[in-house]
Chain A
Amino acid sequence: MLPHTLARLSSQVGSNQLVLHYLTERDHPWLRALVDEYERGVGSRQSNLLARLKEPLAVSAPKAKQRLAVDVLQQLTDTRAKADVPPREARWAAFTAAAQNTAPRQEVLGWAAAQLGVDVASLDAALFADLRSERAASPLPEGLSPERVALEANLRLVKSWMQRARSVRITAWGNTRALVRQARLHGLICNIRRIATNSNSSISAAPALHTGLDVLPEQRAEGIELEISGPLALFRHTLIYGRALSALVPRALWCHSFELRAECETSSANAVAMLTVRSGDPLRVGRELPRYDSQLEERFAKEFCKAARDWDVIREPRPVESLGSLIFPDFELVHRRDPNRHWLLEIVGFWTPKYLEEKLRKLRAAGLENVLLCIDQERGCTDAELPKNALIVRYKRRIDVQAVLALIQPTAVTAGQGVP
C-alpha cells in the first residue's frame, strides 16, 4: 500500500474537492528515465539506489510524482534474496561462531564460511542480503513500460485515499454484481437505487429499493447507484472501513462505466474532501474478476450447458423486485424454443428455515412460482424445516443436473439431455 504521505504529496484539496495528480502520457519521458536509472542500479544496495532515484533525474520530473513512481518501482521488484548462501544460515553460522570465539571478525567469518563451504566475501555479502533496507536491488519485471508504471501508480494513489474514506457513492452500469458482493462481504451497508439510462445527466431519482441484503446483477439498460458505508459510521467519522472501501475500486473498474465519489479525510482535524474517480481515468485494471462466486456454481453452469442443450443458463438474471427489496437469484434457466418456460435457480449454502421462507414469500409476492432452491444437505436440515410447496434439490459438493432437469421438465427429458 502506498504510504499516505506520498498520496498527499500527489494530491491537492480545493473547494472541498480532492484533485489527484495522475501520472499521464506527459510523464512518460521522465518515467522512462527513472526506469533506466533503476535498471542501471540493479545489484547495488537497494536503500542506496532508492535514495539516488529520489534525486533529480536527467529529464525534469515533478518531485512528488517522482517519489510516487519510485515507490511503485520498489513494489514491482522481485524481493527474493540473491546470495550464495541463504542469509538465515549465514547469520546463524556467523553469529554463533562469534559468540564462541574472541578472535577478530575476519577470522570468525573465515570459520563460519568454511563451515558453509563458501568464501568469506560471499558469507559477508549474504549476512543481510534478505533484509529490505540492506538487500541488493533486483531487476524490474521484463519490458516494464512507463505506461504501466503510471497506471499502477495512479491506482495506488486512489486506493491510498480510499483507505481514508468515510463513505462512498458509486454510480455504475454493467458488471455491478461483483461490486455489491464485495461491499456485502465486508459487512458494509449498501443503499441501492436504480438509474434509468447510461447517462450521468439522466440519473433518475427513484426511491431507495433496498438496504443491502441481496446481490444486484448487471443490467444492460439500467444502472445502479450505491451508497456504501459501515454500521459504525452512524456514530462517528470512522476510517475503520477504509480497507473495505478501498477494495471496491478494482471491482468498480470492471463495470462498463462508473463514477465513484468518496468522502475522504484529508487531515487529522477531521477535514474532508470529495474524491471522484470515473471510468476512463488512467488507472490499471487488474485481472478479470471470476465469473462465478464459487466452484460449485461454475461446475453447475458447465454441466447444465452440456446436459441440457435446449436450455440457456443466464448467469446474472434481472433482479426481482418484491416487497420493497431486490432479489437476485444465482441463475435463470430459459428454454430456447419456448422462452415462456423459464426458472429461477438459487443456490443456498448457509440458511435458516426463516430465511428460506422469507425468500420464497418475496418471490411469490412478485408473482414468481418457477423457483428452484438448491440446498446444501450438509447443513443437516430435515424436511420439516423446509418451506412447504418449495421445489428443492439437495446437493453435496455438486449439484446434480439431472435432478434439476427432472424438476423443470419432468415430462420432456430426452436421453441426450439426461434421464431423471
Chain B
Amino acid sequence: MKLLFDHGTLVLAEAPDLSRKAIPGLLWDPRVELYRAPAHRYAEVREALSSLRMPFADEVPRRNPDLTQRWQTVELRPYQQAAILAWRLADERGLVVLPTGSGKTRVAAAAMAATSAPTLCLVPTRALLNQWLAELSKLCSGPIGCLGDGRQDIHQITVATFESAFRWMPRIGNRFELLVVDEAHHFGCGVRDEALEMCVASRRLGLSATPPNGPALVRLEELLGPVVYQLGVGDLTGKWLADFDLVVLRVGLDREERARYEADHRLFAELNRQFRSLHPAGTWQELVAAASQSADGRAALRAWRRSRQLVSFTRAKAAAVRALLARHRDTKVLVFTADNAAAYAIAREHLIMPITCEIGRPERERALLAFREGKLRALVSARVLNEGIDVPEAEVAIIVGGTQGEREHVQRIGRLLRPSPGKRATVYELVTLATSEARRATERRRGLAATHARSA
C-alpha cells in the first residue's frame, strides 16, 4: 500500500478494503477508485495506519532542492519569547496575536529556527513578500525560495503570496513541514482556506494583529490551531511601541449635506425597522439578501451606501484635513480615507501622494522611499496602507473615514507606533456628529484596549 500526494489531497494506492477502518478524513473516491483524504490530515492518516499495523510506503513528502539552512540566533523580546514558548507547548500549532509593529516576522523566524523544518510562509501582498524575503535573508544563510511577484523558485524556506499559494499548493503542498501564515485573519471565511487544506504540514503558525471572531475564528482554529498567545496595542505601548495620543475631532454636516443624509438614512432606517421586526436576530447578510428581493429594498440599500459615502468625506472633514495638514506642515503625515475617491480628492487638493490599489508597485515603492527620506511629506490612502506594506515611520495620522471597523482601525494606528527615542505619535480621528459614523467610531476604538496574554 502506498500513501501518495495527489493535487492537494492524499491518495492510498494498492489499498485493501478500508471501509471498516477508522482513518480520519479517508473516503472512497469512486471517480478514480482509490481512497482519498484531505492533505492537511496527513499526520492523522499516518498515525491511524500505523496504529492499525497496516504497512504502507509513505511517498508523500517531497524534498526541496538542497541545501542546509543555517539560522543565526534570533534575538527576541520577552513577549516574543513567551509567544514562541506558548506555540511550542501547543504542539507547534496555533495563532499568535500581536499588534502591528511588534515584530511578528521575528517570531516566525524564531519558530523556523527552532524547528529547522522546511517552511512555507504565506503573506497577503507582494510588498510583504519582499519584506519577508529581506528579513529572513538577514537571519538565515542559504537561498530563500519565492513564489509570487513573477518569481517561482522553491527552497527549504519559501515565501509565497496568498494568491500564488492558492495556485501552487496542489503541486507543492507536500514539500513543507511548517506552514507560517502572516495576517492570518484573511483566512477562515472563504475559498482561500482550501489552500491551507491542501498542505500536509502539521506544524502551523498563524500571525495576526486582529484575529477574526465567530465562525471565521472556529475555522481558522481548525486550519491553523487555537489562539495560543495574544497581546493588544495597550500592552506594548510605552516600552515596545511608541506612545500615542488619539484626538477625536467631531465635525458636522452642512445644511445641504444634512438634508441628503437624513433623506437617505430615513429610507434605510425604515427597511431596517421592518426587517428587525421580523428577524430580531438577523445578520447584516440576511438583511441585504432580504432587501435585494424587492425594488424598495434595493433602493434602501443604495440610500444606505450613499449616506455612508457622504459622511465618510464631508465638507467639514475636507476643511479639517486642510487645517491639520497646515498645522503639521513639517511632520510626516499619513492620511487614511474610506475610499479611493476621497483619497484622490485630498491628493489633488493638497498635492500629496495617493497610495491606492491603482498605483503600480514600482511607483508605490518609490513613493514610500521618498516619504522615508523626507522628499514627500504626506501619503494618503484608502486601504493599501492599512496592512501588508512596510510603511515608513510617521508621527501623525489623520483618519478621515473607514469602512472595515475595529480591525482596520487597529492596523492603521499600528502604522504610527514604531518606537524611536522620545516619540509620541498623534492620531486624529474625524467623526461626523449625529450620524451612524459616530457609533461606528466608538465601536472601532475598542480594539485598542490592552489584552491579557493568553497562553496554551
Judged by a CB distance under 8 angstroms, whether B142 is at the interface is no
Interface string of A117-134 (1 = CB under 8 A from B): 000000000011001111
A99 touches B31 (CB 8 A): no
A180 to chain B, nearest CB (A): 15
- In the assembly, what is the distance between CA of A368 and CA of B14, in Å? 28
Q: Which residues of B contact A128 (CB under 8 A)?
A: 344, 347-348
Contact of B191 among A100, A189, A240 (CB under 8 A): A240
B376 touches A99 (CB 8 A): yes
Q: Which residues of B contact A268 (CB under 8 A)?
A: 285
Judged by a CB distance under 8 angstroms, whether A238 is at the interface is yes
Q: Which residues of B contact A235 (CB under 8 A)?
A: 9, 25, 27, 36, 38
B358 touches A133 (CB 8 A): yes
Judged by a CB distance under 8 angstroms, whether B8 is at the interface is yes
Contact of A232 among B8, B289, B347, B377 (CB under 8 A): B8
- In the assembly, what is the distance between CA of A127 and CA of B195, in Å? 40
Judged by a CB distance under 8 angstroms, whether A102 is at the interface is yes
Q: Which residues of A contact B341 (CB under 8 A)?
A: 133
B191 touches A238 (CB 8 A): yes
Contact of A231 among B36, B289, B377 (CB under 8 A): B36
Contact of B7 among A133, A191, A231 (CB under 8 A): A231
Judged by a CB distance under 8 angstroms, whether B307 is at the interface is no
Q: Which residues of A contact B375 (CB under 8 A)?
A: 96, 99-100
Judged by a CB distance under 8 angstroms, whether B329 is at the interface is yes
A108 touches B351 (CB 8 A): yes
Contact of B31 among A95, A189, A236, A240 (CB under 8 A): A189
B344 touches A134 (CB 8 A): yes
A45 to chain B, nearest CB (A): 11
* Chain A 42-60 interface residues, beta-carbon cutoff 8 Å to B: none
B174 to chain A, nearest CB (A): 13
Determine, out of A86-94, A245-253, A279-287, A342-350, the stretch whose residues face the partner at the interface: A86-94
- In the assembly, what is the distance between CA of A231 and CA of B166, in Å? 15
- In the assembly, what is the distance between CA of A238 and CA of B350, in Å? 47
Judged by a CB distance under 8 angstroms, whether A329 is at the interface is no
B51 to chain A, nearest CB (A): 22
B31 to chain A, nearest CB (A): 5
Interface string of A229-243 (1 = CB under 8 A from B): 111101110111010
Contact of A234 among B29, B340, B347, B348 (CB under 8 A): B29
Judged by a CB distance under 8 angstroms, whether B194 is at the interface is yes
B378 to chain A, nearest CB (A): 8
B191 touches A105 (CB 8 A): no
* Chain B 18-36 interface residues, beta-carbon cutoff 8 Å to A: 25, 27, 29, 31-33, 36
Q: Which residues of B contact A229 (CB under 8 A)?
A: 31
Contact of A133 among B194, B340, B350 (CB under 8 A): B340
Interface string of B374-386 (1 = CB under 8 A from A): 1111100000000
* Chain B 321-375 interface residues, beta-carbon cutoff 8 Å to A: 329, 340-341, 344, 347-353, 356, 358-360, 363, 366-367, 370, 374-375
B351 touches A232 (CB 8 A): no
- In the assembly, what is the distance between CA of A212 and CA of B366, in Å? 49
A231 touches B6 (CB 8 A): yes
Contact of A127 among B8, B340, B348 (CB under 8 A): B348
Judged by a CB distance under 8 angstroms, whether B98 is at the interface is no
Q: Which residues of B contact A100 (CB under 8 A)?
A: 375
Judged by a CB distance under 8 angstroms, whether A211 is at the interface is yes
A231 touches B351 (CB 8 A): no
Closest to A92 in B: B366
B32 to chain A, nearest CB (A): 5
B315 to chain A, nearest CB (A): 18
A211 touches B32 (CB 8 A): yes
Q: Which residues of B contact A187 (CB under 8 A)?
A: 7, 170
Closest to A212 in B: B32
Known interface pairs A99-B376, A234-B36; A105-B351 also in contact (CB < 8 Å): yes
B9 touches A99 (CB 8 A): no
Interface string of B105-116 (1 = CB under 8 A from A): 000000000000
Known interface pairs A96-B376, A187-B170; A131-B27 also in contact (CB < 8 Å): no
- In the assembly, what is the distance between CA of A369 and CA of B207, in Å? 60
Q: Which residues of A contact B359 (CB under 8 A)?
A: 131
A12 to chain B, nearest CB (A): 13
B191 touches A239 (CB 8 A): yes
Known interface pairs A187-B170, A232-B198, A238-B191; A95-B353 also in contact (CB < 8 Å): yes
Q: Tell me the count of chain A residues lying within 8 A, CB to CB, of chain B.
A: 39
Judged by a CB distance under 8 angstroms, whether B264 is at the interface is no
- In the assembly, what is the distance between CA of A400 and CA of B356, in Å? 55
Q: Which residues of A contact B191 (CB under 8 A)?
A: 238-240, 242
- In the assembly, what is the distance between CA of A239 and CA of B351, in Å? 44
Judged by a CB distance under 8 angstroms, whether B182 is at the interface is no
- In the assembly, what is the distance between CA of A238 and CA of B8, in Å? 13
A232 touches B194 (CB 8 A): yes
Q: Which residues of B contact A108 (CB under 8 A)?
A: 351
Q: Which residues of B contact A105 (CB under 8 A)?
A: 349-351
- In the assembly, what is the distance between CA of A235 and CA of B35, in Å? 12
Contact of A238 among B6, B194, B356, B358 (CB under 8 A): B194
- In the assembly, what is the distance between CA of A88 and CA of B374, in Å? 19
B7 touches A95 (CB 8 A): no
A231 touches B370 (CB 8 A): no
Q: Which residues of B contact A151 (CB under 8 A)?
A: none
* Chain A 62-91 interface residues, beta-carbon cutoff 8 Å to B: 88, 91
B164 to chain A, nearest CB (A): 14
B11 to chain A, nearest CB (A): 8
Q: Which residues of A contact B351 (CB under 8 A)?
A: 94-95, 97-98, 105, 108-109
Contact of B358 among A127, A132, A191 (CB under 8 A): A132
Interface string of B186-215 (1 = CB under 8 A from A): 000001001101100000000000000000
- In the assembly, what is the distance between CA of A238 and CA of B356, in Å? 32
Closest to B326 in A: A102
- In the assembly, what is the distance between CA of A212 and CA of B34, in Å? 14
Known interface pairs A211-B32, A231-B36, A239-B191; A98-B350 also in contact (CB < 8 Å): yes
- In the assembly, what is the distance between CA of A92 and CA of B353, in Å? 8
Q: Which residues of A contact B356 (CB under 8 A)?
A: 131
B352 touches A95 (CB 8 A): yes
B29 to chain A, nearest CB (A): 5
B161 to chain A, nearest CB (A): 16
B64 to chain A, nearest CB (A): 19
Closest to A124 in B: B348
- In the assembly, what is the distance between CA of A235 and CA of B367, in Å? 46
Contact of A211 among B9, B31, B285 (CB under 8 A): B31
B42 to chain A, nearest CB (A): 14
Contact of A189 among B32, B353, B360, B367 (CB under 8 A): B32
B8 touches A98 (CB 8 A): no
- In the assembly, what is the distance between CA of A97 and CA of B377, in Å? 10
- In the assembly, what is the distance between CA of A242 and CA of B377, in Å? 45
B9 touches A234 (CB 8 A): yes
Chain A residues packing against B (C-beta within 8 Å) = 88, 91-92, 94-100, 102, 105, 108-109, 127-128, 131-134, 187, 189, 191, 211-212, 227, 229-232, 234-236, 238-240, 242, 267-268
3 shortest A-B CB distances, which residue pairs? A98-B351, A187-B7, A99-B377
Q: 5 more A-B contacts (CB under 8 A) besides A231-B36, A232-B38, A234-B36?
A: A91-B353, A95-B353, A99-B378, A102-B329, A128-B347
11 contacts between A and B (CB under 8 A): A95-B367, A96-B376, A99-B377, A102-B329, A227-B31, A231-B36, A232-B7, A232-B38, A235-B25, A236-B194, A240-B191
